[in-house]
């Protein structure tokens, strides 16, 4: 049944690979993979029994779904190049408005997997939330049907709310990773290795998820332990940017817990 649905995959990065693979496994007919990097396009096309194309002019017009998994700033060019296609056109970005496709096709929308994707991590999409938006109810329904073949957590989210969800994801993922990086840099000044912090990092997240974030806050800021905070700022004397950050986050912790 799904095999009658023709999909053109646009992009060859990790997200294109993971979504393409999930749709291929769900039985969809991936007809083309477009990518400027011909080696990567060939590799994905071979994996999905699709045809690799290196020029937008070669992209066929009769597919049912055009799934655009490219960097945010490349989406509008692709939208322009695809003008006149018959199928539904979607991008996979957290921050780009749906109306980038206003002139592209009749049915369009967004297909945003709420996850962080990097080389070397093969994510199973089935437990990953996919945020769907369509420009009309027929398109939205169709996108739900497709998304539900690869994920158990498909939800509707309009463009404005999606931006706030994406911003929230920046805090809980990109900024969390940045905190881990600063911690790694600091402990590298000692004879202990970053690895020794792994049980702490894991428990921090497990506790926040099971007990709730607010109940889970520990540390000098929430205790109002001025002496330890002063000592920490002294240790950061040579890193004024981290010292300012330390004071700023501590103030937010105090405010959030009072």
| Interface positions, 207-226, toward a second copy (CB under 8 A) | 207-211, 213-223, 225
The rounded Cα 182 to chain-centroid distance in angstroms is 22
- When binding is defined by CB under 8 A, the residue of 27, 136, 145, 172 that contacts a second copy is 172
- When binding is defined by CB under 8 A, the residue of 25, 103, 136, 177 that contacts a second copy is 177
Supply the angle between the helices 240-256 and 226-235 in degrees, to the nearest 10: 160
Give the length of the chain: 258
Least gap, CB of 151 to a second copy (angstroms): 10
Least gap, CB of 223 to a second copy (angstroms): 7
Least gap, CB of 33 to a second copy (angstroms): 22
- When binding is defined by CB under 8 A, the residue of 171, 237, 238, 258 that contacts a second copy is 171
Q: Helices (DSSP H) in 135-239: which residue ranges?
A: 137-148, 159-169, 176-187, 198-211, 213-216, 220-223, 226-235
Distance CA 257, CA 39 (A): 53
Tokens of 19: 């979504």
Least gap, CB of 35 to a second copy (angstroms): 18
Distance CA 221, CA 235 (A): 16
Q: Which strand ranges, in their side-by-side order, compose the sheet holding 29-34?
A: 51-53, 29-34, 6-10, 65-68, 88-91, 108-113, 130-134, 154-156
The rounded Cα 26 to chain-centroid distance in angstroms is 21
- When binding is defined by CB under 8 A, the residue of 1, 3, 137, 199 that contacts a second copy is 199
Q: What are phi and psi of 184, to 5 degrees?
A: -65, -45
- When binding is defined by CB under 8 A, the residue of 137, 191, 238, 258 that contacts a second copy is 191
The residues in 44-103 that bind a second copy, with binding defined as CB under 8 A, are 71-73, 95
The residues in 96-115 that bind a second copy, with binding defined as CB under 8 A, are 114-115
Asked if 228 touches a second copy (CB under 8 A), the answer is: yes
Asked if 169 touches a second copy (CB under 8 A), the answer is: yes
Contact partners, residue 254, CB within 8 Å, separation at least 6: 221, 222, 224
- When binding is defined by CB under 8 A, the residue of 37, 136, 173, 240 that contacts a second copy is 173
Least gap, CB of 233 to a second copy (angstroms): 10
Least gap, CB of 91 to a second copy (angstroms): 13
Asked if 235 touches a second copy (CB under 8 A), the answer is: yes
């Amino acid at each position: 049944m799904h095999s009658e649905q023709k999909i053109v995959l646009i992009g060859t990065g990790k997200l294109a690979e993971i979504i393409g693979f999930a749709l291929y496994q769900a039985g969809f007919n991936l007809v083309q993979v477009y990518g400027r990097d011909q080696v990567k396009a060939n590799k994905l096309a071979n994996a999905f029994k699709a045809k690799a194309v290196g020029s937008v002019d070669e992209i066929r017009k009769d597919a049912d779904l055009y799934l655009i998994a490219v960097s945010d700033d490349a989406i509008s060019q692709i939208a322009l190049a695809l003008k006149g296609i018959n199928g539904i056109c979607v991008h996979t970005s957290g921050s780009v408005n749906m109306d980038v496709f206003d002139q592209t096709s009749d049915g369009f929308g967004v297909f945003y997997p709420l996850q962080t994707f990097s080389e070397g991590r093969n994510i199973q999409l089935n437990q990953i939330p996919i945020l769907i938006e369509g420009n009309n109810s027929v398109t939205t329904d169709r996108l739900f049907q497709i998304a539900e073949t690869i994920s158990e957590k498909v939800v509707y989210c309009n463009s404005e709310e999606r931006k706030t969800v994406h911003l929230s994801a920046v805090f809980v993922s990109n900024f969390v990773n940045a905190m881990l990086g600063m911690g790694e840099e600091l402990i590298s000044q000692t004879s202990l290795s970053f690895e020794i912090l792994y049980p702490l990092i894991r428990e921090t997240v497990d506790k926040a998820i099971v007990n709730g974030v607010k109940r889970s806050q520990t540390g000098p800021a929430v205790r109002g332990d001025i002496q330890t905070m002063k000592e920490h700022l002294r240790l950061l004397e040579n890193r004024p940017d981290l010292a300012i950050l330390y004071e700023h986050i501590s103030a937010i912790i105090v405010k959030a817990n009072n």
